[in-house]
Amino acid sequence: MQRLIFHLDMDAFFASVEQRDHPEYRAKPIIVGGSGRRGVVAAASYEVRQFGVRSAMPTAKALRLCPHAIIVPPSIGKYSEASAIIMAVMKRYSPLVEPLSLDEAFVDMTGTEKLFGKPLDIAQRIKDEIFEETGGLTSSIGVAPNKFLAKIASDMNKPDGITLIPFGKEAESIAALKIERMWGVGKKSSTLLREIGLDTIGDIAKADTRELIKAVGPALADHIYKLSRGEDHRIVISDLSRKSIGSECTFEYDISGRSMVEKKIRPQAEIVARGLREKKIKARGVRVKVRLSRGFILQTRQMKIDQPFDDSKTIFDACCQLLKTVDVDAAIRLVGATAYDLVEEDFPEQIDLFSTAKKEKQSTLEHAMDAINKKLGQQVRRGSSMDSE
């Protein structure tokens, strides 16, 4: 399904709030941040950015760049107040709002066009309402088919801009940008990519995938190759509880030993997998937890899985592997399994086609069992778990 994602980002947020509240600061170089020897710039007004001042820069350095800058101590109370208004405006248009910080959020606007009109018009209305209700704060909105592109777009016409990256123009819209703009590309990987002559996102899109894999490994290669083509299947996560799906079981009597723990984990893995399928999402990480009776010591282990999954076998197998580094011989009062790093259900295949095919089969099988369960209104489980209560 084609999605419609907004990324809203307030313009120089803290500095703009201060300029709103102090007319004498307007059109002046304002730094919000600590003034002490170790002070850091929390926000910089557009006037001071012209001098090269950026947030997270030491205030001392900022003052060398712009000696006449006005340093304003932060007042978080005012910022959170404005933040609450901003988030509330977005929630009028969609319940799926994922805040990234006080002044930034993703909104999943898929399917709202019938209700509110064209995406660009909705974006303008959201901006206008925020301006109105916060007493004059401006924002920028990126409109795109996914999170990655929406975030890039919101930055393209700052301040006070709206930018649309249309469906079908994803790759060309970002081709000229530097590779660092892709989330997941840090200093180390950007150096490796430049070594093989890749400087822009467009270079990655045209690159030989085998070269990419050789340079940065299969997982990152796959990730940036997709991003470079404007593909990103992360979902908008509107509340923390949706960041992972877990299930756990506390025992009336302590259990102990590897085979016993595995036996108790299996139904948890099944519940988690069913939860994923019900929500029509997949996960890319598995976490297992084991709480000991003595001192309530909690042991957790987690791992990333290359292929997105929604089947219990993947979860169970990962749990068993993770449990190898967990003390399972002590008295245990609780075990649990969790799937995290959630993505859309139609997350495309990875480069490793063989293991995808196997997993697809398992997923299809479990989807079929869901359908049967629904029909019968009862639980049908895989044979191997029939013995667990």
Q: Is 360 a catalytic residue?
A: no
The two three-digit tokens of residue 158, written as one number: 């700052």
Site for Mg ion in 13-32 (CB under 5 A): 13
Q: 81: helix, coil or strand?
A: helix
Residue nearer to Mg ion on the CB measure, 162 or 288 = 162
**Token couple for 92:** 């009028």
Q: What tokens appear for 387 in the block?
A: 């013995």
- Minimum Å gap between C-beta 183 and Mg ion is 16
Q: In angstroms, what is the minimal distance from the CB of 14 to Mg ion?
A: 9
Looking at the chain, how many residues does it have?
Answer: 389
Q: Pick between residue 155 and residue 349 the one whose CB is nearest to Mg ion.
A: 155
Cα–Cα distance measured from residue 351 to residue 306, given in angstroms and rounded to the nearest whole number? 10
Burial readout 254-279 (b: 16 or more C-beta within 10 A, e: otherwise) = ebeeeeebbbbbbbbbbbbbbbbbee
Size of the site for Mg ion (CB under 5 A): 4
> What 8-state DSSP symbol labels residue 241?
G
Near Mg ion by CB under 5 A, which window of 4-12, 76-84, 326-334, 355-363?
4-12
Q: Does 222 bind Mg ion (CB under 5 A)?
A: no
* 162 class by beta-carbon count within 10 Å (0-12 exposed, 13-18 middle, 19+ buried): buried
Catalytic pick among 104, 248, 270, 366:
104
10 forms part of the interface with Mg ion (CB under 5 A) = yes
At its nearest, how many Å lie between Mg ion and the CB of residue 163? 15
10 vs 205 by CB, closer to Mg ion: 10
C-beta closer to Mg ion: residue 42 or 318: 42
Please state the closest distance from residue 226 (CB atom) to Mg ion, in A: 26
Whole-angstrom distance, CA of residue 82 vs CA of residue 88: 10
Pairing outcome for strands 332-344 and 244-255? antiparallel
Q: Which of 4, 5, 9, 315 binds Mg ion (CB under 5 A)?
A: 9
Contact 269, 315 (CB under 8 A): yes
Per CB under 5 A, the segment of 3-11, 231-239, 291-299, 330-338 that binds Mg ion is 3-11
Whichever of 140 and 350 has its CB closer to Mg ion, that residue is 140
Query: Which residues between 90 and 149 bind Mg ion (CB under 5 A)?
Result: 103
Give the footprint of Mg ion on this chain (CB under 5 A). Answer: 9-10, 13, 103
Known catalytic residues? 104
